Amino acid sequence: MTSPIDKLVHALGKLPGVGERTATRLAFFLLRAPKQIAKDLSEALKELHDKVKLCSVCCNIADKDPCRFCSGGRRDQNLICVVEEPSDVSAIEKTGAFRGVYHVLHGALSPLDGIGPEDLKVQELLNRLKDSHPKEIILATNANVEGDATSLYLARLLKPLGVRITRLASGIPVGGELEYLDASTLSKALEDRREMN
Amino acid sequence: MYLKALSLKNFRNIPEASLSFHEKFNVFVGANAQGKTNILESIHLLSIGRSFRLADYKGLISWEKTEAFVRAWLELPIGEEERTIQLTVEKKKTFKNGKGVSPNQFQFMPIVLFAPEEILLLKDSPQARRDYVDGLLIKLSAIYEEHLRDYKRALTQRNKLLKDELIPKEEKKKQMTLWESPMVEHGSVLIKEREAWMNKLNGILNEYYKIIGHDAKSAQFAYSNNVNLEEFSTVQEAKREEELERKASLVGPHRDDFKAQLDTHPINAYGSQGEMRTFTLALKLSEIKLFEEVLNQSPLLLLDDVVSELDEKRSAYFFSYLQSYTAQVFATATALSLFPKDCLKEFRAWEIRQGKPFTF
């Protein structure tokens, strides 16, 4: 019979960034630490796949369907912010500056990784737009080559629908000092400069 | 700016070494395969952050060792800086004055390397010449590296798409265009920068060629671009069908070349061996001059076995150039006697035997 320790080490070793040594250390920690720690962890793990779902509207991970953004009528359904990952939603939520709803693509276009439009939640976005008619869609994919290509793809796809499409601005971070900025960020900021009133 | 001292541990075949340098001229002599070039390589690593011989730094760690150190003390106008590069099998770490930093926080230390392989550049593939020019422009232009990185990224994505057998042609056509706009955006910058810098370089190159070669021929490292700036998008559009057929992107600065010419004749077809050597030397000296003009500072020179490559005419010019050179020089040679006495007035020399330096 395999020892439970070996079994745990083997399972932990499959996590990203965890090698066999770290896995062994973690396993022995869990063995020696108060039982409650291991119990909490095992319960959290058990619940993970049972209780976490994708919202059928915005494809964000949620504990209920539709998620808290898409239901309850407290958010502005006229404004959809399209992001690559669920973690991007958390990042935007932290700002407290956005009152609209989200759409999570779960990735960006990247032929190198074999990711095409059909691997992203694009069809879900189109289905969603059949029923609702938002005023604006904000493309908030990452400001790199793949994020830009994904936004361009969506912009072309959504344009015939007649909805206003915007792209997140890129440039100087707030509190950023010009002298420490890299050249391309600074030149992007120059390009996208705006009128002062 | 100059390198005051260098300390190495488990670097290539050097188990441990501490060297304190002369402000101007430093020579490493010894038989082949003793470790002379390894010292130059470590200085290059400290300056650029990577080796000139290896893409993967792991090969720099001594055989059967897990960790290597390269540490240097630099005299800068603002004071002394200690910089360390620690290489382990997992990662490369950089430290400035004992604190962990990212390598771009190092004060930029311009360096020009002369290596015997460089004469091959003229006969080599366009890819090798593009890599050479890219390496140079990354150091000279503040914006080049990021645009090059993003251009290559978009290009690789587009090529991967073109090669994918599973995606239907109509869908490919739609998606191809997504990667074209970043290619045009970043590629245009590359074309503009290459044009401008090669223009500058060629003015200087032509002068040096005339002086070193005692030759009135006009020398050019001519920029031959695959596509003109104004036509980039239209040509790209026109070639889509052919690209789908050949499964590769055919339009853009990734297919540029730089052609070494004497009076507009390609040197690799019509030039003599001597003309090619003169051209290569003139090219390197132009590189130095560009650094001096742009940074207002002479680069450190790394001369890897250069003396054995020069004939009498060229070496006379080169050594007189070195004598009046103001920045620090590091050279390797099989014997000290290869340098003329005039060159060795103020210098320090080491003999390298099996990875160990012995002072003369």
- The span from the CA of A51 to the CA of A44, in Å, is 10
Cβ-defined contact of B143 to A153 (cutoff 8 Å): no
Model confidence over A172-183: pLDDT tens digits? 888 878 887 877
Helices (H), ranges, chain B:
36-48, 126-140, 144-163, 169-213, 232-238, 240-246, 267-270, 273-295, 312-323
Going by their DSSP bridges, the two strands B67-76 and B92-96 should be labelled as unpaired
Cβ-defined contact of B175 to A187 (cutoff 8 Å): no
Chain B residues with CB-CB distance to A116 below 8 A: 167, 171, 175
Instruction: Write down the pLDDT at residue B349.
Output: 95
Going by their DSSP bridges, the two strands B219-224 and B257-262 should be labelled as antiparallel
In chain A, whose CA is at the least distance from the CA of B158?
A111
- The span from the CA of B284 to the CA of B118, in Å, is 9
Chain B residues with CB-CB distance to A183 below 8 A: 142-143, 146
Chain A residues with CB-CB distance to B153 below 8 A: 144-146
- The span from the CA of B307 to the CA of B60, in Å, is 26
DSSP secondary structure code for residue B183 in this structure: H
In the numeric block, the tokens 């912009």 are attached to: A155
In the numeric block, the tokens 């070639």 are attached to: B239
Model confidence over B45-93: pLDDT tens digits? 998 777 788 778 888 999 989 999 999 999 988 889 999 999 998 888 9
Domains of chain B, start order: 1-110+297-360 (3.40.50.300), 118-296 (1.20.1050.90)
**Does A112 touch chain B if contact means CB atoms closer than 8 Å?**
yes
Average of per-residue pLDDT across B182-189: 95
Chain A residues with CB-CB distance to B146 below 8 A: 182-184
**From the CA of A112, how many Å to the nearest CA of chain B?**
6
| Burial (CB count within 10 angstroms: exposed 0-12, middle 13-18, buried 19+), residue A125 | buried
pTM for the predicted model, two decimal places: 0.81
User: What percentage of residues in chain B have a pLDDT greater than 70?
Assistant: 100
**Does A190 touch chain B if contact means CB atoms closer than 8 Å?**
no
Cβ-defined contact of A112 to B146 (cutoff 8 Å): no
Going by their DSSP bridges, the two strands B356-359 and B348-353 should be labelled as antiparallel
> Residue B85 CB: number of other CB atoms within 10 A?
22
**Residues whose CB is less than 8 angstroms from the CB of residue B69 and which lie 6 or more positions away in sequence, other chains included:** B7, B8, B9, B10, B11, B84, B85, B86, B87
pLDDT at B126 over 90: yes
Cβ-defined contact of A145 to B147 (cutoff 8 Å): no
Using 50, 70 and 90 to split pLDDT, how confident is the model at A126?
A: very high
**Does A149 touch chain B if contact means CB atoms closer than 8 Å?**
yes
Chain B residues with CB-CB distance to A109 below 8 A: 157, 175, 178
In chain A, whose CA is at the least distance from the CA of B149?
A145
Using 50, 70 and 90 to split pLDDT, how confident is the model at A1?
A: low
Domain A77-167 adopts which CATH fold? Dna Topoisomerase Vi A Subunit; Chain: A, domain 2 (3.40.1360)
Cβ-defined contact of B178 to A184 (cutoff 8 Å): no
Phi, psi of A104 (to 5 degrees): -100, 120
Instruction: Write down the pLDDT at residue A73.
Output: 84
First-to-last alpha carbon distance for chain A, in angstroms, is 75
First-to-last alpha carbon distance for chain B, in angstroms, is 25
Average of per-residue pLDDT across A124-147: 94
Over B277-304, what HEC string results?
Answer: HHHHHHHHHHHHHHHHHHHCCCCEEEEE
pLDDT at B351 over 80: yes
Q: By the 8 A CB rule, do A80 and A103 touch? A: yes
Q: B93: which strand partners?
A: B86
Cβ-defined contact of B182 to A182 (cutoff 8 Å): no
Return the structure tokens found at A182: 């890299």
Cβ-defined contact of A145 to B158 (cutoff 8 Å): no
Domains of chain A, by residue range, sit at 4-50, 77-167
- The span from the CA of B64 to the CA of B358, in Å, is 25
Cβ-defined contact of B157 to A111 (cutoff 8 Å): yes
Model confidence over B302-331: pLDDT tens digits? 999 988 878 888 888 999 999 999 999 999
- The span from the CA of B105 to the CA of B95, in Å, is 9
Q: Which residue has the higher pLDDT, B357 or A178?
A: B357
**Nearest CA to B278 among B309, B256, B254, B243?**
B309
Range in A183-192, B87-96, B280-289 with the lowest mean pLDDT: A183-192
The CATH superfamily label for domain A4-50 reads: RecR Domain 1 (1.10.8.420)
ipTM value for the complex: 0.71
Cβ-defined contact of A149 to B150 (cutoff 8 Å): no
DSSP secondary structure code for residue A173 in this structure: P
In the numeric block, the tokens 């079994």 are attached to: A7
**Residues whose CB is less than 8 angstroms from the CB of residue A40 and which lie 6 or more positions away in sequence, other chains included:** none
Cβ-defined contact of B175 to A184 (cutoff 8 Å): no
Using 50, 70 and 90 to split pLDDT, how confident is the model at A165?
A: very high
Nearest to A149 among B146, B156, B182 (CB): B182
Cβ-defined contact of B175 to A152 (cutoff 8 Å): no
Return the structure tokens found at B44: 């290059």
**Does B167 touch chain A if contact means CB atoms closer than 8 Å?**
yes
**Does A144 touch chain B if contact means CB atoms closer than 8 Å?**
yes
Model confidence over A29-70: pLDDT tens digits? 999 999 999 999 999 999 888 888 899 999 999 988 899 999
